Structure 1
Amino acid sequence: MSTTRRGRRPGSPDTRAAILAEARTLFASAGYAGTSVRAVAAAAGVDAALVHHYFGTKDDLFLAALQAPIDPRQVFAPVAEGGIDGAGERLLRTFLSVWDDETTRLPLLTMVRSVFDPERQPLVRDGYMRVVLGPIGTALGVEDVELRMSLVGSQLMGIVLARYVVQVEPLASASHDQLVAAYAPTLQRYLDGVLG
């Protein structure tokens, strides 16, 4: 009597790794918008359903390709839930809590340093704007979202470089309250204030 195998489609860690390697290559060369799940599947020699099986949505695949130690969609959701008023402060406090946590800081530093690798720039740039900041701005109802969120992003990247990469003092040892007092009003103006 023959039995029909039911359940998940067979795969292996090697298949998952191959999909991820092709995804990194395609996202890095074509960016988020220029890469499809079908293209990743074709490059890896698998069916698109298997990509979805291992990684879920295109955003999930993209985050896996970034090797992000956190899912920014979950971490930053409370920023948007509170509405536009005070969003600059909530965003900064959440951002600092992620970066000051040792378990997330080291992998994030690796990711930030890869910005200087020309092959990885599109991957990191798209990840930062498409998966982290863009959805926050959209959820907050920010006008001219691309411009305003790129301004927010430039401020946050400046903090990362000065505080965590170069460790400029006294910025590197400043408390969250000190940083919030200095930066949150600027972030809030980028979100809903007059720009020029």
Structure 2
Amino acid sequence: MARTGRRPGKQDTREAILRAAREAFADRGFDQASIRQIATSAGVDPALVHHYFGTKEQLFLATVGAPIDPGTLFPHVLEGGIEQVPERLVGTFVRLWDDPVLGSAAVALVRSALQHDWSARIVREFLTTQILRRVLNQLDLEPAEAPMRGSLIASQMIGMAMIRYVLKLEPLASAAPEAVVASLAPTIRRYLLDPLPS
């Protein structure tokens, strides 16, 4: 008897890789997951993973549904001295979230993280490995303090995103971007540069 239904094709293979990658990144984290493990779980050759997604980092961004590659944003944030990083970081963040297309994707990402434990783990990996690590590794910070500084900065940025873009609490929801930067950057500067409590 002939088989019916759609033959497995490119879309099926791509989705199988994405499913395996989501599980691997959620369970083992970005650093510990490997293309070979993901390929084995998806039942494909590792070369096929590279064919569809390129690098492990690009595969990770696809699993997260990241609206933009953070690597394209941070050279601007980090140029110049460390003193300007808070304003540039907050300004870049606000411009991304204010964009009608990119902002909608970012809101969807946060909402997903609030609804599912595996989504929360993936978003946590995204924040840690693709955003905070990129910024903190380029700054001359005490290595033992960098993780705490990064977590404190993330608490402010994600908190602002929740209030301004998800809950849309006024007057922050409709405040001018310049006002948001001016209000938030001093706190980011304190978390980045001031001595941490012992």
Asked if TM exceeds 0.5, the reply is yes
1:1-196 counterparts in 2 under 5 A? 12-116=10-114, 117-143=116-142, 144-196=145-197
Residue-by-residue CA offset, 1:71-130 (whole Å, 9 max, x unaligned)? 111022211122312100000000000000011111111100112211211101110121
Aligned amino acid, residue 162 of structure 2: L
What TM-score, normalized to structure 1? 0.89
What residue ranges of structure 2 are gaps of 5+ in the alignment? 1-8
SS of 1:120's equivalent in the other structure is helix
Give every structure 1 segment of 4 or more consecutive aligned residues whose post-TM-superposition deviation is greater than 6 Å: none
SS of 2:33's equivalent in the other structure is coil
Cα distance in 1 between the residues matched to 2:99 and 2:62: 20
Cα distance in 1 between the residues matched to 2:42 and 2:113: 25
Cα distance in 2 between the residues matched to 1:183 and 1:195: 18
Cα distance in 2 between the residues matched to 1:131 and 1:181: 25
Cα distance in 2 between the residues matched to 1:146 and 1:60: 24
How many pairs does the alignment contain?
Answer: 186
SS of 1:86's equivalent in the other structure is helix
**Change over 3 Å in CA distance of 1:83–1:55 after alignment to 2:** farther
Cα distance in 2 between the residues matched to 1:47 and 1:81: 40
Residue-by-residue CA offset, 1:149-168 (whole Å, 9 max, x unaligned)? 11110100010111111111
What TM-score, normalized to structure 2? 0.88
Cα distance in 2 between the residues matched to 1:127 and 1:135: 11
Structure with more helix by fraction? 2
What residue ranges of structure 1 are gaps of 5+ in the alignment? 1-10
Cα distance in 2 between the residues matched to 1:125 and 1:89: 23
Aligned amino acid, residue 169 of structure 2: V
SS of 1:85's equivalent in the other structure is helix
